[in-house]
Chain A
């Protein structure tokens, strides 16, 4: 079945540590790929997106993501996490022009 998987429901990292949030998808062709962040009580904000070209994508707030076709993955990374990064992160996939599917989300907790 076509799906978007975020294997980690909850991740805790220390402030200043590096972060990687995983996202895998199962669609036939390479879809458009997105990462969104949802801070507590806030709406969803786009962090970055991949349509084509360079597989390493830079986003806002110091985030980046790498598309790996062979692994059907689009993992989100940040070299040094800040306390304000604590939020829910959603990977999203647009397999065609008519559809958008979200993963279940990964909740990030940042320890002082």
Chain B
């Protein structure tokens, strides 16, 4: 597709369950970012992938959060043993090295 896509668009889960969020970046974009946006808040950086380099995981809030990226394509953000405070919109963005980021529509996660 022409833009960044994310799935699912909405996810409702029970506390303690694991969830996987998917991001398909724009083809050819070497950089991929994950952000968290809580209701009424700004963007919280989670993790960044650039090509084959080691990812920058400095924003991950706990070891329950992890992410993978296959080459320069799809990325999956996994949250284990979800907690209510994990409820947020999770945004993915991709970019070329020195260009602006292009954002996906986000996945709204609700943990009951």
**Provided the pairs A44-B91, A104-B42 are in contact, do residues A98 and B104 lie with their beta carbons within 8 angstroms?**
no
**How large, as a class, is the contact surface on chain B?**
20 to 34
Which residue of chain A has the shortest Cβ distance to B108 in the bound complex? A41
- Name the interface residues of B52-93: CB closer than 8 Å to any CB of A: 56, 91, 93
B101 touches A100 (CB 8 A): yes
Total interface residues on A, CB under 8 Å, equals: 22
- A42 CB to nearest B CB, Å: 8
**CB <8 Å contact, A102 and B98:** no
Beyond A43-B105, A44-B91, A45-B103: 13 further Cβ-contacts under 8 Å? A43-B91, A43-B103, A44-B103, A46-B101, A97-B98, A98-B50, A98-B56, A99-B48, A100-B48, A100-B95, A102-B42, A102-B43, A105-B42
Q: Closest 8 CB pairs between A and B?
A: A104-B42, A44-B103, A102-B43, A105-B42, A43-B105, A43-B103, A46-B100, A97-B97
Residues of chain A at the chain B interface (Cβ within 8 Å): 32, 34, 36, 42-46, 49, 51, 90, 92, 94, 97-105
